[in-house]
A and B are shown apart, each in its own frame.
Chain A
Amino acid sequence: MLEIKNLYVKLADEDKQILKDFNLNINKGEIHALMGPNGTGKSTLSKVIFNNNKYKVTKGNIIFEGKDITNLQTDEIAREGIFLSNQLPPEIDGVTTSDFLRTALNEKQEVPLMTFINKITKASKDLSFEDDMIHRNLNKGFSGGEKKKNEVLQLKVLEPKFIILDEIDSGLDVDSLKIVSSNINDYLKDHKDTSVLIITHYPRILEYIKPDFVHVMTDGKIKESGSYELALKIEEKGYEEYKNSANKISE
């Protein structure tokens, strides 16, 4: 479904390499976790997939459902069916979640108003949102947990085929983490072909959303790939052994 081939990425306005020969292949319905210490390029990858203009791809390709999306515009990539749950969702004055989502949904396909209202009301209820949250300014004055729930609400309304969860667990207390995870798991039960890339520093979220594959990334490339057991090993031993190590595949 998503194939990243020999990807080299640098900052657009300075000569600093961020990703080096990065490779990843995610099939339909698979859940992958990308783990690594801070500053290793994990979040950059999510922005590069969306062609953020702060980064420049110098070599390699990103293929989604057989189509090269490396040079598509950000909004075109989103309309292909890829969703990015942001690590730090911005607060936007004067734009309500409801207005913004309606515009986004209509961009994909014209949706009758009542269908939209039913959909957003159900998603809001599932996430234990207060009634007026969707009519408040986007993320304005929201707690860290509410911002993350709002990302999942958008996901449920827009119904993407591929989901990137960038540090979805940061800023979440245990109760909110359970609500967010169960909503994502419910979504995946109803959308069996949807694939997920979980970007995370800590393995905690993986206890709630079980990955099929775990990858460890340092210095801009994947150093080891394996099963969920690899996440448990990281929890125990940390990332020290991956610094300057060659690539390897776990048993």
Chain B
Amino acid sequence: MNNIILDNELLILKDNEDKEINIKKDINTKIILINEQKANNKFIINLEENSSVILNILDASDDINRKVIINLSGKNSYSEVNISSISLGNNNYIVDVYHNEKNTHSETNLHGLTIGHNKITFKNNGSIKKGSIKSILNQDNKIITLDKNNSKIEPNLFIDEYDVSASHGAYIGKFKEEDIFYLKTRGLNENECNNLLINGFLLGNFDDKESLEKIIKKYWR
């Protein structure tokens, strides 16, 4: 496993090797991975006091087994994990977020899109250890199935402290009919509605939307 000590603001990952990334005290960083290959890997990210990480992963592939472990081990550390996955086969994700200190905050957004009989599984585990008071843990898990639904979401919260805030949501299904109707009442046809909704759904949390939209178009169009 590659071991990286991170003191930069941005890390762009180029491969799917296993990695352990340590984010030093007071460092705010963003890690980006755009992947169109098969993958079977594990990322471990350890955060020290007052540090933060935004991890953005966009996968478009037919066979992915990815595990992400976040250790919020420093006071006031923050993690945001945004995984957007287009499944062309069978994509599986396990995300474990551990709140090991006071005032830690995690936002985990797992969004998936399946076409045809393809499948995605999200297992999203959030743990707040005893003593990690004032911690905030939020999960948002959604899979849009354009055709058949073979997908699964397991949102799990393991909370061992009273003075915390935690929430999770899970949705598997199609885009809401009322959203599509609304867009159509402005003159957008079915295909344009889907383009807008898919881009928004997969890239809503990402910054560099333009280059990422090209990847989405490649598989959706």
Bound-complex Cα distance A158 to B188 (A):
12
Bound-complex Cα distance A93 to B161 (A):
32
Number of chain B residues close to chain A: CB under 8 A: 23
B182 touching A137 by the CB < 8 A rule?
no
Across the interface, B188 reaches (CB within 8 A) one of A47, A84, A93, A104, namely A104
Closest Cβ–Cβ distance, residue A45 to chain B (whole Å): 14
The binding surface of chain B is classed by DSSP as helix
B186, B192, B197, most chain A CB atoms within 10 A: B186
Bound-complex Cα distance A100 to B184 (A):
11
A107 touching B196 by the CB < 8 A rule?
no
B203 contacts partner chain A, Cβ-Cβ < 8 Å: yes
B178, B201, B203, most chain A CB atoms within 10 A: B178
B179 contacts partner chain A, Cβ-Cβ < 8 Å: yes
Bound-complex Cα distance A101 to B181 (A):
15
Q: Known: A75-B188, A78-B187, A93-B201. Is A99-B182 also a contact (CB below 8 A)?
A: no
Q: Known: A75-B189, A107-B189, A107-B192. Is A93-B184 also a contact (CB below 8 A)?
A: no
A74 touching B185 by the CB < 8 A rule?
yes
Number of A-B contacts (CB under 8 A): 74
Bound-complex Cα distance A50 to B187 (A):
11
Q: Known: A50-B185, A74-B185. Is A92-B192 also a contact (CB below 8 A)?
A: no
A248 contacts partner chain B, Cβ-Cβ < 8 Å: no
A94 contacts partner chain B, Cβ-Cβ < 8 Å: yes
Number of chain A residues close to chain B: CB under 8 A: 29
B188 touching A107 by the CB < 8 A rule?
yes
B144-199 interface (Cβ within 8 A of A): 176-179, 181-190, 192, 196-197, 199
A200 contacts partner chain B, Cβ-Cβ < 8 Å: no
A94 touching B201 by the CB < 8 A rule?
yes
A156 contacts partner chain B, Cβ-Cβ < 8 Å: no
A50, A83, A95, most chain B CB atoms within 10 A: A95
Bound-complex Cα distance A137 to B196 (A):
12
B185 touching A84 by the CB < 8 A rule?
yes
Contacts of A74 in B (CB 8 A): 181, 184-185
Contacts of A90 in B (CB 8 A): 176, 178-179, 182
A158 touching B186 by the CB < 8 A rule?
yes
Quick one: closest A residue to B183, CB to CB? Answer: A100
Contacts of A101 in B (CB 8 A): 186
B116 contacts partner chain A, Cβ-Cβ < 8 Å: no
B187 touching A108 by the CB < 8 A rule?
yes
Contacts of A154 in B (CB 8 A): 186
Contacts of B203 in A (CB 8 A): 94
A95 touching B200 by the CB < 8 A rule?
yes
Bound-complex Cα distance A137 to B200 (A):
9
Contacts of A95 in B (CB 8 A): 196-197, 199-200
Residues of B with Cβ closer than 8 Å to A? 176-179, 181-190, 192, 196-197, 199-204
Residues of A with Cβ closer than 8 Å to B? 47, 50, 52-53, 73-75, 77-79, 83-84, 86, 89-90, 92-95, 99-101, 103-104, 107-108, 137, 154, 158
